[in-house]
Amino acid sequence: MKLKPNRPSENLMWGVWLRHARRFFSDGLTGSLKPRKGRLKPIPKSAMPDTDQPLPLLILCGGGSTRMGRPKALLPAGGDTLLEHLAAHTAPDRPLWLADGGNRLPLPPRALRLPDALDGREGPLSAVLAALQHAQRHNLAGVFLITCDTLIAPEDMIARLQKAGAPDTGSILMLRTPETDYPLLAWWPAALADALAAYLGSGSRRVMRWIAQTPTRPVLMPPAWQPYANFNTPGQYTAALAAWQAQQAV
């Protein structure tokens, strides 16, 4: 039996189908398919967190240092000032932010000075809020905090917090001794920015009151760090520096 030749209309339909099929397979293989209206577009890389980049460290230097008698950030430590010492012991690829509360301290190389979120001297939470908001604007998960009145090496602190679970996007991870909490030697997630802004907006400024109402995970501070974790008077600083120097000599 002989096959009947296709009618002209059938040939036309076959040609149209063939052209669409060729274009589909060609575009699919070369990766040039364009999203049609209504389809989800891929998320641009700029909108996705960079999990490989080290997260920022904020050095808090905005206190009045009234009990010390001079700015604690400028106290000598190992041939540098405390501020220079902390900056020098921060990983070179880690973003370094400085909150000095308008003290206009000398800015370490590569450091970014962040003005407090509130006008005037409103305490460390005002500086932390500015850092969390800055982290949000740059799509960062949060920020590590360290005060200028410590001789704990920043990267050692960060490594310990990371081992305990930082970056945690919902909880503060802070160093703790059996006697004392250190909420400013800590990891703070950027997701807390709005809640912290509301807390400050209510007129509250106390750090520990904020900590009491916020998800927090304590991280045990090594005993070796405790003698120089914090100091507020010349006598405390002398003792802390001696303990730190003794450890460096071992």
Where residue 109 sits, what CATH number does that domain have? 3.90.550.10
Query: Which has more pLDDT, 172 or 29?
Result: 172
Flag whether pLDDT at 212 surpasses 90: yes
Find how far residue 57's CA is from the centre of its chain.
6
How many domains is the chain built from? 1
3 state DSSP class of 142: strand
Specify if 35 maps to a domain. Answer: no
Structural domain containing residue 215: 57-249
Is pLDDT at 33 greater than 50 in this prediction?
no
Residue 181 covered by a domain:
yes
Within-domain flag for 26: no
Residue 48 has pLDDT above 50, yes or no: no
Mean pLDDT of the 101-127 span: 92
Within a domain: 61: yes
Q: Mark out the alpha helices in 44-148 (DSSP H runs).
A: 82-88, 124-137
**In this model, does residue 19 exceed pLDDT 90?**
no
Q: Answer yes or no: pTM beyond 0.75.
A: yes
What was the pLDDT predicted at 16? 44
Q: Calculate mean pLDDT across residues 131-152.
A: 98
Q: How far apart are CA 48 and CA 139, in angstroms?
A: 7
> What pLDDT score does 51 carry?
54
Return the residue matching tokens 């905005």. Answer: 62
Query: Residue 143: beta bridge partners?
Result: 188
Q: What confidence score (pLDDT) does residue 78 get?
A: 84
